[in-house]
Structure 1
Amino acid sequence: MNKTSKILVSIALFLFGWGAFTTSHSVQAARDPFADFLKTDCVPGAEQAGLRKNEAQKGCTCAMNSLKKKYSTTEFEGLLTSHRNGDDKATSTLRSYSETCFDKVLEEIMFE
């Protein structure tokens, strides 16, 4: 095999491997709507509201754990989809779990 062929084979193998890697990560992320909610919705929203990253992470992890106790993965995936599609009831449900947790975070901030 000449040098050009080796380079082309290496590039092809890299691209195939990269495609498999990114696909597996996309599938894995799709399987955990709780982590998706934490990363995509909750933490950015809390930071936008003025909390530091660690405070946002703490409150959102608490909310995620509370939601995991109440909902199966499939149920939560439906709730999250409804929220993202503008369903006020779904948003209110997510907000109620988050508020309880963020009340604790704010108490810790105030009484440190």
Structure 2
Amino acid sequence: TLALPDLEQLDLSSNRLDLISEGAFRDLARLKNLNLSRNQLSINLGSNSKALGSLGRLKSLDVSKNGLSNDAAELFLKNKPTLDHLKMTGNALIRLSHSLFRESGSLKTITVD
């Protein structure tokens, strides 16, 4: 785990991450911006989505180019009521349903290419 309680921005892009342990972000209570783009998060989907569960104050999330499908994207958005900006470009999204954003009512920007 990262014990950095005042950290607000974290960039883990382009690290070939395929597994994030469930408690990895537990001590990042003030994290607002998280960049996980250009990794391989679809490989261990269950564990990786649970790892984001403790990030209740997250404002911006970038999960671009991770090979995520529609179902995977929904898992990453669970319990993110404060999320304002979501970037999901370069994934395997075929369609976007309203249920995908059910728990993210504060979204202002969604980027999907």
Larger radius of gyration between Structure 1 and Structure 2: 1
TM-score (ref. length: structure 2): 0.19
Q: Which structure carries more helix by proportion?
A: 1
Q: Which structure carries more strand by proportion?
A: 2
TM-score (ref. length: structure 1): 0.19
